[in-house]
Chains A and B, each alone.
Chain A
Amino acid sequence: MDKWFTYIDGVWRFKFDTNSYSASREAAKACRFFVEDDEDEQTDDHSQSCFNCLYRRWGLNCFDCYKKVGTS
């Protein structure tokens, strides 16, 4: 997962921006913890995308993954 995330200040931060759909989809495809969030909170038409995941928390620039934290 290090291809897509960096460990910063105690959280795993997505390395890309909010328009990086390919990276978000690739990361979700490779992740065994992916769970789709409420449909109204999704921002990618492709369902299996970290942008749509229950365990992402949006921040100022993009999102942090909270499931990955729990498994690190």
Chain B
Amino acid sequence: MANRWISTLTKKDVTPEASFLNRRQIMAGALAGAGLSSIAGGLHAAPDGLEPNSYEDITQYNNYYEFGTGKSDPAENAHTLTTTPWSVEIAGLVDKPATYAMQDIIDAMTIEERIYRFRCVEAWSMVVPWNGFELADLLNLAGVQSGAKYVAFETAFRPDEMPGVKYPVLEWPYVEALRLDEAMHPLTLMATGIYGKPIPNQNGAPLRLVVPWKYGYKSIKSIVRITLTDTQPPTSWNKANPGEYGFYSNVNPDVSHPRWSQASERPIGGGLFAGRQPTLMFNGYEDEVAGLYAGLDLVANP
């Protein structure tokens, strides 16, 4: 069931590490677009002009509050997280509830590259070349029972390894959830790598969710438990502030968050003068996912 969705962002293979250029250096070195394209030939150039952020941007600018609330805290602190051995408990309304060893999951899955836009609720965005497999494949491995309607996820909770959980910024452990049809959608990815390398701890090693049409906090990191349920599970940010964070959390420029207008976003990695760009409905994946929400009032169900 892998490869059901092919990225329109790139057709190229993973670029060799040596040819990654820091985007800021490219911007500094190229005065005109022509100059940029000639220099950037080795990058993941996309037909529509989108190109992935640098490995440095993606791995040094993270929200992972278990390791601190600063954007650089996860990169500084997450090295303490033990990711091998790792296992994921799949429970609830499945045929084969079990604790699956990470290696067994990897062996059963087909890893592919997906270049996705990534949009944070804080109104910044990146483009990330993930490696991973479709969540649907993992759920099918466990066998989803007919009564299941939702999929709940839980992040590891390890006070000894996670300095941030000392503080009650959120209720720990971090939890997230999707409707089953969202979880089974071919865009919904379980990421195990970035730029062809094992996913760094600060990005949610060894296994994280990526739902590219939803705000970043839905894409829960370092997953230890997946539970199929028939009732809507609680989600961390919704619990913390239901007025600001809904269950769906679809990227929607027309539904504004009380603290951040979602109409536009700042692309990260372009330096001090990168400016803003308009935010796209469903983060640019409207054609693929709008059908999931036919008949649903997106304003009343943020």
Task: Say whether A associates with B.
Answer: no
Seen from chain A, the residues whose Cβ lies within 8 Å of a Cβ on chain B are: none
